[in-house]
Chain A
Amino acid sequence: MSGGMELKNEVLASSTCALCGACLDWCPYIANIEDHLVFRFDCNVSDGRCYSVCPRTFTDWEAISEKYLPDIPQDLAIGPHLKAYKVKAAQGIQGQQDGGTVSYLAKTILEYELAETILLTGADDHVTPEPFLSSEVDDIQKAAGSRFLASPGMRKIIAAQSNNVQKLAVVGRPCQIQALRKLDYNSPPQKPKMEVISIGLFCMWSLGWAFRDYLQKEFPGEEILRLAIPRHGFEVTTDKGVHELPIDIVKKFSKAGCNYCLDMTSELADISVGAFEPQEGWNTVIIRTPKGQELFNQALARGYLISEEYPEDELNRLKGAALGKKTRNLKHVQTAFDKGVKPFIDLNSAYYVQLKELAEGMVK
């Protein structure tokens, strides 16, 4: 039986929290401002929803993968998947990141009624993330562009449930997609289920909100229009021009919880989308489930997206990058578990064992 106090002492106290937001908005104990997430008062419930949905509490990831991506070919680097594509939007959308693919997949979902409501993250000032639910295609533009500041967007599940949403689409980071699957997996049998379709994003790390203050200090008086990570560093586009920040400086602002993440490409989503590194203005799309395939096909059929064969060498590079993140973070994970942090993954699972062997192999 694990509840709020266990979440507080195991996850929040150990700084492994990914700020996915799945624990928020159900109860009055867990509170959040910007990127702080705390128990504002102690709860006395021994069997808590928060603990059961949190991706950093013990999870049988294999069983979850089995249930939601059954019989999909596995891959140690980029997870279970059917196919990868090089994709971009046929027509641009204002504020788009890279190929603008996610925006048009979202549009397709609503038009094709794969879901009636979609969970997106906007940012009025182009920096401060604001998650929202919408059933309107016109709202999608608000969410165009990547959010680098960590946003606890999964809190919106509560609002979706209380609005009796039957079919929900979620655009989220790997930790958020993990939480989404755990939520359904641990949901009490008598509770009415919500059908979900998920678009997972690629993610190396998310930034703490102190980065926003840093930008204000670095570029005083300038209005930030866009943030991006093209291959050569961190790009800040303001009304006064384009600035570049060394990636190492930006990385210093990454959230501690991101160091424990073993998923770069949202391996549990129906469809995952990230940048296509070799060419500006294009996305990498990974199809994982039949539902994801259906969505993709629809988007193509409506002429929203253009897709091309995914170059083999880029796929290898992508896998290398993903494994790089995993093996780097594995060190942090192992240290944490050795120090007494409760494992959020089965240490005897094939996945963990394989990753460990790979990491050890790389050291040699």
Chain B
Amino acid sequence: MKTSRRDFIANAGAAAAARHDLAHAQEPEQEHDHSVVPSDPALRVKSLESLLVEKGLVDPAALDALVDTYQHKIGPRNGAQVVARAWVDPAFRKRLLANGTAAIAEFGFGGWGGDYLVVLENTPKIHNLIVCTLCSCYPWAVLGLPPVWYKSAAYRSRAVIDPRGVLREFGLELPEDVEIRVHDSTAELRYLVLPERPPGSEKLKEEELAALVTRDAMIGVAKVTLTKPEGRP
């Protein structure tokens, strides 16, 4: 089976893909011209979709709805609402830490990519960090789909062996006496980090607090600050 599979994907547009990845690697912070995305996978996906539609295996309108849902409806703003609520409502925070799935369901979030949600609380002495070393498990229901870096070999390989080095690359230097807990998502449990409420935010309302919470903070690679960094959802 493997030999035939190898033949099967031999024309995977590898060279073009390599160019694409190289472009990413060299200009991580720059605006990309995504018209240079290799046409080969685009053509193969188009051909596959039309085959599956013709065979009645998928409904193209269902695909549109799925793309629209993850592009526009489900994203880190979901998780940010949960975090802000936990900061202002001690009873909710307690429920959230005891049973993430049930407490987050109060917002109507859950299901696909969040059937079993576990919330990990960061404190001045404990810092939680989420990774999936084996694939790309991520709490879709509260954070949307993961960024490319989360799925990259660089992050998957190093988060467990060198979390402090990885955090340093994100600009977060943690003192030695802070315990780092890396959570490898090897099952269907999905983790959400409850970051520390930033000092100086005491007077902010729940909505204002939610606006400060970044995706990176809910993965555990950043802290929440009073000024939200640019370009970070």
A binds B: no
Q: Give chain A's interface residues, CB within 8 Å of chain B.
A: none
